[in-house]
Amino acid sequence: MSVYRPPNKKNTYHKIGIKNSAGSGGKQGSKYNMPKKQKLPTAVVVTNILMICVILAVCGVVFAISFNNAKYDKADASKAAERSKAAEALMSTTSSENSESSKDESSSAVSSETVSETSQVTASVAESSAAAPVETVSDEFDKEFFKDDLFIGDSIFTGLYGYSYIDRANVAATMGYTPYGAQELPFDDTFYSGSAVDYAKEKQPKHIIIMLGSNGLSDNTDFDDFSNGYKGLLNRLKTECSEAKILVVSVPPVTANTEYTQITNTVIDTANEKIKSLCSELGVTYYDFNDSVLKDANGYFKEEYAELDGLHFKGATYPILLSNVEKLLKSE
Amino acid sequence: MKKKLFAITCAALICASFAGCGSSTESTSSAGNSAADSSAAGNLSAKTDALKAAVETPEMVVLTKDTVKDILGVDSADVTDFSALNCGNGAYPDAFGIFTAKDADAAKRVEDALKKFVEKRNKDFKDYKPNEMYKLDDSFVETNGTTVVFAICADNSKAKELLK
């Protein structure tokens, strides 16, 4: 009985290989006593490849560590540079209520104590995957310092409690709020039924920090009306909260690629001049956050401090504002 | 045979070293969460993390048991576990989360609070930023047993799929 056996391909190939090897290298094989050219075992080849991978991985890790160290060194250097710039800029902060001598005290206090003592920030930010670490000026502040204060503002100031930097009870802010709105309209009727001025009157804060003016700004802005709105708000707060120290923060700039195309930095600068002048007239402190921190060399809102829309603040911007405001208020 | 065994061992070692790299990244992430709030952890935060990775969002803030009441109106006493994120800076209406309520009554309170929150977001953004209203148009608050989920984001159907 005959049984069919398929040809053994492996053996056939092996035989051919030997034959070919002998044919091509026969002479050399006979001279150096290398009769067969042996194929390296697969295991050895795989091992070698793996070892190369290991070496490359180790090199990669070493490179990554070195690169990170270099990056943080660079970040530290620019942080220091920005701190000194902020300290200089704070010196130009005006307070018409105070004399030139108090301004000098303010600036010297800031420059000698650029980094404040305690940060009690509790917010946690889920950074977007592409977000790079923000190079900041001093961003340390004492949340306790603001416990008796009130922040009045628009959507930007809602971020003060949105990021938990300031307690909800210390913020009277909402989307679209204006100086007129702050006198008449509720800022959050789920929290308090009255206006920001009503809340201030009830709360009697130690300090009132205001940042309003972005809403409604455009090339067609009637700046007399704008000033009247601000003046009305400041006068009412001065009347209703006579013991409170009032500080007005500049209207922030927009980035080069802002979503809000109707708002230009020229208009914002004009608005800030009006506010500054008004503060001088009414004896209220004005803080120019724009020139000291937010603006780049071309006058635009620095991208690293701005939300994607080019107007609102990123979470990391608030502590810088609070740090500077704290220093300013402490120095007065 | 020994060489094969050696090769397999090497391969296993390399895999282990890569896995080690991966776990260091994850531990950084979970450390961040635990710093934010121990209650916003585990499976729930994995779901919100997945949604954040899948949908384009602005800068989002992880809410904690201390802040969830102020931001969303949800009483942390009503939930045993939760994970929720909110755009903190007023620029965008984005917010989403998943809550495990203590019982059916608590789940109802959580749902009501979230519905109020969504309603307020609608009111706030309607005139302020009409181009963001598409995120609110198909936003949702849904309850299944003691689990309550909600989302206001650029892809709410994706959110529904990932949070459930």
Q: Give the per-residue pLDDT at A37.
A: 54
Query: Rounded to 5 degrees, what angle do the CA atoms B90, B94, B98 make?
Result: 130
Q: How far is B135 from chain A (nearest CA, A)?
A: 16
Position A156, amino acid: I
Q: Give the per-residue pLDDT at B28.
A: 26
Torsion of the alpha carbons at A177, A182, A183 and A186, rounded to the nearest 10: 90
Domain locations along chain B: 1-36, 38-163
Q: Give the per-residue pLDDT at B144.
A: 96
**Which domain CATH number covers A210?**
3.40.50.1110
**A253 in B contact zone (CB under 8 Å):** no
DSSP B98-125: EEEESSHHHHHHHHHHHHHHHHHHHHHH
Number of domains chain A is built from: 1
Residue A218: phi and psi, rounded to 5, are: -165, 180
What digits encode the pLDDT tens for the residues B68-98? 999 999 999 999 999 999 999 999 999 999 9
**B60 in A contact zone (CB under 8 Å):** yes
**A288 in B contact zone (CB under 8 Å):** no
What digits encode the pLDDT tens for the residues A157-196? 999 999 999 999 999 999 999 999 999 999 998 889 999 9
Q: Give the per-residue pLDDT at A67.
A: 52
Give domain status of residue A181, yes or no: yes
Q: Give the per-residue pLDDT at B37.
A: 46
Residue A156 belongs to domain spanning: 95-122+138-331
Q: Give the per-residue pLDDT at A36.
A: 52
**A162–B32: do the CB atoms touch at under 8 Å?**
no
**A216 in B contact zone (CB under 8 Å):** no
* Higher local confidence (pLDDT), A210 or B14: A210
SS3 assignment, position A231: helix
Supply the ipTM of this predicted assembly: 0.74
Handedness of CA A66, A67, A73, A76 (dihedral sign): negative
- Residue B143's contacts (CB-CB under 8 Å, 6 or more residues apart) are B107, B108, B110, B111
* Cβ B59 vs Cβ B88: under 8 Å: yes
B18 CB neighbours in chain A (<8 A) are 57
Q: Give the per-residue pLDDT at A24.
A: 39
Give domain status of residue A85, yes or no: no
pLDDT in tens, chain A (332 residues): 444 444 444 443 333 333 343 333 444 444 444 455 566 677 777 777 888 877 887 766 666 655 554 444 444 444 444 444 443 444 334 344 443 333 333 333 333 333 333 333 434 445 333 333 334 478 899 999 999 999 999 999 999 999 999 999 999 999 999 999 999 999 998 889 999 999 999 999 999 999 999 998 988 899 999 999 999 999 999 999 999 999 999 999 999 999 999 999 999 999 999 999 999 999 999 999 998 899 999 999 999 999 999 999 999 999 999 999 999 999 98
Give domain status of residue A17, yes or no: no
Give domain status of residue A18, yes or no: no
